[in-house]
C-alpha cells in the first residue's frame, strides 16, 4: 500500500515507498520540542515531549503536489534543516544541511494512513532516543539505538557509493531548494524548555 506524506490542509502531498526505513524512533531532544513549539501545532509530541520520527533513505520519498509551499527553517546556524508546509505549518521532514547525505527524518504524524505506516515501519516507541531530556520517566533503549544507528550509517554510506542523487529537499547540486530561515538567538531561547 502506498503511503503519503501530506500537510494538514492538503496542499502539499508526497508519496513514500513503504520499503524498509532506517528506523522509527521517538526523539525526546530539546530541539525537536522547540521546533514543535515553533510550529504551534498540537499533536506533534507524546505526553513526555517526544516526537515520533521515521528515519529513511530519501530516495523513497518524493513530492507530488505543492512543492512551492515547502519551507525551511533551522533552530541555529549549524542545526538540522527542518522542512515544513508554509500553508498550515505541518512538519514534513528533517535533513542534514548537506543534501548528499541520504537521510530524512519524516514526522510519523504527517504520514498516512496510520495502519499502513505501522505495517511498513513497525509500531511507534520501539526505539527511544535522547531519553535524558524527556519530560518524565522514559526508559532508554540502548540496543535498538545502536542497531538503528548502524543501519543509518550503512544506508548513508551505501547511498554515497551508489552516487545517489540529492534528496527531494535539495537540487541536483546538493543545495537546499529553499534558503533556511535561521532563528535569532532570542527567539530560539524562548522556545526551549523552561523551569
Ligand atoms: Zn498545508
Ligand atoms: Zn530530536
**Domain parsing of the chain, residue ranges:** 3-188
Distance from the CA of 160 to the center of ligand 1, in angstroms? 32
Task: Show Cβ contacts of residue 130 under 8 Å, excluding neighbours closer than 6 positions.
Answer: 27, 28, 29
What's the 114 CA to ligand 1 centre distance in angstroms?
A: 18
| CATH T-level topology, domain 3-188 | 2.170.150
Over residues 105-157, the pLDDT tens digits come to: 999 999 999 999 999 999 999 899 999 999 999 988 988 888 899 999 999 99
Compute the distance from residue 16 Cα to the ligand 1 centre, in Å: 18
Report every protein residue that has its C-beta within 5 angstroms of ion ligand 1: 7, 9, 11, 85, 87-88
- The CA 5 to ligand 1 mean position distance, Å, reads 11
Q: Name which residue leads in pLDDT, 145 or 55.
A: 55
Structure-derived torsion over alpha carbons of residues 183, 175, 148, 2, reported in degrees to the nearest 10: 100
- In degrees and rounded to multiples of 5, residue 159 shows phi and psi of -65, -35
Mean pLDDT (the chain, rounded): 94
Instruction: Report which bound ligand comes closest to the CA of 51.
Output: 2
Contacts of 78 (CB under 8 A, 6+ apart): 97
Map residue 117 onto helix, strand or coil: helix
Rounded CA separation 192/140 (Å): 22
Distance 30 CA to ligand 2 centre (A): 7
Distances (CA, A) of 115 to 101, 180, 181: 29, 33, 34
| Residue 145, pLDDT score | 87
Q: Is the pLDDT of residue 195 over 70?
A: no
Residue 48 has pLDDT above 70, yes or no: yes
* pLDDT of 37 over the 80 cut: yes
Tell me the pTM: 0.94
CA of 31 to the centre of ligand 2 (A): 6
Amino acid at each position: 500500500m502506498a503511503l503519503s506524506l501530506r500537510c494538514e490542509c492538503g496542499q502539499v502531498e508526497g508519496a513514500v515507498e513503504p520499503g524498509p526505513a532506517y528506523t522509527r524512533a521517538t526523539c525526546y531532544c530539546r530541539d525537536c520540542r522547540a521546533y514543535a513549539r515553533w510550529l504551534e501545532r498540537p499533536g506533534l509530541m507524546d505526553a513526555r515531549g517526544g516526537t515520533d520520527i521515521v528515519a529513511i533513505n530519501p530516495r523513497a520519498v518524493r513530492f507530488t503536489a505543492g512543492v512551492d509551499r515547502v519551507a525551511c527553517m533551522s533552530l541555529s546556524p549549524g542545526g538540522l534543516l527542518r522542512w515544513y508546509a508554509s500553508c498550515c505549518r505541518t512538519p514534513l521532514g528533517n535533513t542534514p544541511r548537506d543534501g548528499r547525505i541520504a537521510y530524512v527524518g519524516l514526522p510519523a504524524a504527517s504520514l498516512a494512513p496510520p495502519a499502513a505506516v505501522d505495517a511498513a515501519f513497525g509500531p511507534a516507541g520501539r526505539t527511544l532516543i535522547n531519553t535524558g531530556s524527556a519530560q518524565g520517566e522514559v526508559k532508554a533503549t540502548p540496543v535498538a539505538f545502536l542497531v538503528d544507528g548502524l543501519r543509518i550509517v550503512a544506508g548513508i554510506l551505501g547511498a554515497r557509493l551508489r552516487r545517489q542523487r540529492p534528496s527531494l529537499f535539495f537540487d541536483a547540486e546538493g543545495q537546499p531548494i529553499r534558503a533556511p530561515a535561521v532563528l535569532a538567538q532570542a527567539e530560539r531561547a524562548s522556545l526551549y524548555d523552561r523551569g
